């Protein structure tokens, strides 16, 4: 039975909260009582726990600001389909609902329709807010039971599976098919191939590979300051310097965050998808002491793309808000998307054997902090 992860009601004065960090990535297996997400509301940080075991699916990205009751994610059993979006929305209650008018602190499944919303499909249970006396806020607000899987089966439009590509953009599909056809490609010939490994690990590696899952996590960012810094740099470096792009800053931010988390970033690949063409670059040392040299390395095209051990795919020129790059034999890729209002997302797709619990959240939080304050990256 699915359970919702929702923004708890922290009190009368609370308007909303920032989804500050997903400690567990999209698709992760969670245990009851495990902290899965942090919500921030002014000077208060609230750790939200899983109330049942299952697979966590994110619905709202880190960095988004959500109102009370908003459903941030769902915990489902393995193989269980996701609840329909319509039910998730009705669980959240009407958008303009006032805290004082709210009928209860937490939604529960009831056999009736939510107030003010009629005409639902027959036979489905409605998630609604029953009348209750005002009182203490209940942690039960974070998770509620959800309709039975059998009923959820007939509903359309589950949340996208982790790894689902942006429609119309089959990035690297060929590579992935190749990798699927030859299970050893990824381990031996792919960009992640490392130095020769000792014998004992030879047996472990395939076992780990079988257990490995491709997971995804994303964070909201504001591109405005990165853009501003890029333009300032371009002015400063003219006419003799290379022309920096926002993607250069992001590449450096990610490399810095990976290095800080103890991973050797290594050569990076950058794919910039524009209206008429895809362009790919590689940067041997994205953490080069001098930022200008790193940008020159990209524009100079001296490093072959095949050397890249991790890749950033940018759809910033297209105005696509979220990008789920595919892992084609590699183990780590980032997608950059931008909405219309200067905000966007950085999505991280990675092999589950690469990062421990909470690491991805920390990496992404650090990347966001660096992208939004890019002057720390210059040097």
How far apart CA 6 and CA 19 sit, in angstroms, is 11
The one among 3, 36, 37, 41 contacting other proteins by CB under 8 A: 41
Is residue 11 involved in binding other proteins (CB under 8 A)? Answer: yes
Contact between 21 and other proteins per CB under 8 A: yes
Stretch that binds other proteins, among 137-145, 161-169, 191-199, 349-357 (CB under 8 A): 137-145
Per CB under 8 A, which region of 32-40, 245-253, 299-307, 346-354 contacts other proteins? 32-40
**CB contact at 8 A, 62 and 87:** no
Which one, 9 or 248, has the nearer CB to other proteins? 9
CB of 65 to other proteins, least distance (A): 13
Dihedral of the alpha carbons of 213, 217, 223, 227, in degrees to the nearest 10:
-30
Beta bridge partners of 4: 74
Residue 66 CB, nearest approach to other proteins (Å)? 16
- 47 binds other proteins per the rule CB under 8 A: yes
Q: Which of residues 149-208 bind other proteins (CB under 8 A)?
A: none
CB of 11 to other proteins, least distance (A): 3
Closest CA to 366 of 212, 260, 211, 218: 260
Stretch that binds other proteins, among 37-45, 106-114, 175-183, 249-257 (CB under 8 A): 37-45
Distance between CA atoms of residues 25 and 23, nearest Å: 7
Nearest alpha carbon to residue 144 among 214, 88, 65: 88
CA torsion angle for 110, 134, 7, 17 (degrees, to 10)? 150
CB under 8 A: which stretch of 131-139, 179-187, 231-239, 306-314 binds other proteins?
A: 131-139
Say whether residue 30 binds other proteins (CB under 8 A).
Answer: no
In whole angstroms, give the CA distance from residue 215 to residue 225. Answer: 29
Please give the size of the binding site for other proteins, defined by CB under 8 A.
29
Site for other proteins in 210-269 (CB under 8 A): none
- Stretch of 36-44, 121-129, 225-233, 318-326 contacting other proteins, by CB under 8 A: 36-44
Beginning with the edge strand found earlier in the chain, give each strand of the sheet holding 214-222 in spatial order: 214-222, 343-351, 332-338, 310-314, 268-273, 278-283
Q: How far is the CB of 356 from other proteins (least distance, A)?
A: 17
Q: From 3-11, 146-154, 264-272, 352-360, give the range in contact with other proteins by CB under 8 A.
A: 3-11
Residue 21 CB, nearest approach to other proteins (Å):
8
CA geometry: angle at 44 spanning 41 and 47, to 5°? 95
Alpha-helical (H) ranges within the chain are: 85-92, 149-153, 173-181, 199-211, 224-237, 246-260, 291-300, 359-372
317: how many CB neighbours lie within 10 A of its CB? 14
10 binds other proteins (CB under 8 A): yes
Task: Based on the shown chain and the rule CB under 8 A, indicate whether residue 20 belongs to the binding site for other proteins.
Answer: yes
Min separation Cβ 287 and other proteins, Å: 17
Select 212 or 263, whichever has its Cβ closest to other proteins: 263
By the 8 A CB rule, do 310 and 224 touch?
no
Count the Cβ atoms, other than its own, within 10 Å of residue 91.
24
Among 45, 177, 188, 353, binds other proteins (CB under 8 A): 45
Q: Are 93 and 129 in contact (CB under 8 A)?
A: yes
Query: Residue 57 interacts with other proteins (CB under 8 A)?
Result: no
Asked if 137 is part of the footprint of other proteins (rule: CB under 8 A), the reply reads yes
For residues 214 and 350, is the Cβ–Cβ distance under 8 A?
yes
Handedness of CA 213, 307, 293, 312 (dihedral sign): negative
Nearer to other proteins, 283 or 365 (CB): 365
Among residues 29, 46, 214, 296, which is the contact residue for other proteins, using CB under 8 A? Answer: 46
Question: For residues 305 and 328, is the Cβ–Cβ distance under 8 A?
Answer: no
Single out the segment in contact with other proteins by CB under 8 A; choices: 240-248, 326-334, 352-360, 361-369.
Answer: 361-369
CA distance 279 to 317: 12
Closer of 138 and 188 to other proteins (Cβ): 138
Q: Which residues bind other proteins (CB under 8 A)?
A: 9-14, 18, 20-21, 35, 38, 40-47, 49, 135-139, 362, 365-366, 369
């Amino acid at each position: 039975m699915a359970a919702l992860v929702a923004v708890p009601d922290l009190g009368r004065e609370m308007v909303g909260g920032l989804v500050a960090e997903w400690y567990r990535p999209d698709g992760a297996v969670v245990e009851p009582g495990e902290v899965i997400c942090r919500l921030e509301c002014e000077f208060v940080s609230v750790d939200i726990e899983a109330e049942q075991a299952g697979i966590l699916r994110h619905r709202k990205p880190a960095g988004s600001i959500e109102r009370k009751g908003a459903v941030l994610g769902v915990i489902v059993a393995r193989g269980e389909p996701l609840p329909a979006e319509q039910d998730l929305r009705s669980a959240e209650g009407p958008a303009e609902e006032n805290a004082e008018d709210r009928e209860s602190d937490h939604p529960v499944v009831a056999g009736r329709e939510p107030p003010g919303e009629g005409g639902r499909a027959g036979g489905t249970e409605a998630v609604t807010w029953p009348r209750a006396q005002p009182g203490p806020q209940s942690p039960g607000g974070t998770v509620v039971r959800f309709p039975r899987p059998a009923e959820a089966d007939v509903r359309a439009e589950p949340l996208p599976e982790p790894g689902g590509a942006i429609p119309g953009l089959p990035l690297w599909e060929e590579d992935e098919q190749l990798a699927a056809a030859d299970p050893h490609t990824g381990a031996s010939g792919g960009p992640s191939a490392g130095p020769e490994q000792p014998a004992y690990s030879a047996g472990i590696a395939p076992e780990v590979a079988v257990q490995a899952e491709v997971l995804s996590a994303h964070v909201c960012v504001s591109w405005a300051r990165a853009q501003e810094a890029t333009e300032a740099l371009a002015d400063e470096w003219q006419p003799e310097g290379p022309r920096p792009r926002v993607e250069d800053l992001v590449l450096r931010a990610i490399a810095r965050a990976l290095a800080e988390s103890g991973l050797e970033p290594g050569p990076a690949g950058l794919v910039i998808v524009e209206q008429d063409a895809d362009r790919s670059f590689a940067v041997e040392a994205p953490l080069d002491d001098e930022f200008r040299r790193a940008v020159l390395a990209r524009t100079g095209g001296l490093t072959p793309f095949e050397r890249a051990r991790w890749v950033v795919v940018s759809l910033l020129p297209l105005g696509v808000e979220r990008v789920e790059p595919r892992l084609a034999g590699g183990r780590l890729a980032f997608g950059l998307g931008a909405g219309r209002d200067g905000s966007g997302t950085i999505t991280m797709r990675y092999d589950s054997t690469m990062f421990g619990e909470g690491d991805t959240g920390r990496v992404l939080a650090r990347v966001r902090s660096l992208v939004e304050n890019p002057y720390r990256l210059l040097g």
